[in-house]
Amino acid sequence: MTRHLRNRLTLKSDVYSFGDVLLEMLCARPPLDHLLDKKKVNMVALFKKCYNEGVIVEEMVDPFIKDSITSECLKFYCQMVLSCLHGDGNQRMSMSDVVGTLELALKLVMSGENSKFDATQEREELKHRLNKELQLS
């Protein structure tokens, strides 16, 4: 449950809130938008639905970000956000795991941009570490 449903602040409610902020950055919209259709008012619920239906990019991602993020980075980012927004606080990542995952995702992006890296081996290693990190949460 989230902080607002239990009326209690915990480390895991902070993770949920941070996941909400990460989602706001990805979608460039507020968590609640009452001007939208009833099914789209709640950004978190809409994100989970779109992710499960495989239409996250088309439906949710800010158009200014779509062309500047690789599909693999978007996948890891979305999985991390989903972990942060898990309804059961015990199933959420810790904040240190979130930071570690963001750092690995950044390295993955940088390995693709920097030709000095052995791109194939470095990227595969980073993707493996990201997958492992996300499975632990």
Domains and CATH numbers, the chain: 3-136 (1.10.510.10)
Amino acid at 94: S
Instruction: Tell whether pTM > 0.75.
Output: yes
How far is residue 60's CA from residue 58's CA, in Å, rounded to a whole number? 6
How many Å apart are CA 33 and CA 22, to the nearest integer? 17
Residue range 69-117, pLDDT digits in tens: 888 888 889 999 999 999 998 999 999 999 988 888 888 777 766 544 4
Q: Among residues 62, 63, 87, which one has the least CA distance to residue 12? A: 87
CB 111 within 8 A of CB 122: yes
- d(C-alpha 134, C-alpha 136), whole Å: 5
Q: Which pLDDT belongs to residue 117?
A: 47
The pLDDT value recorded for residue 49 is 93
Least confident of 13-22, 36-45, 70-79: 70-79
Q: Which two tokens stand for residue 21?
A: 């902020």
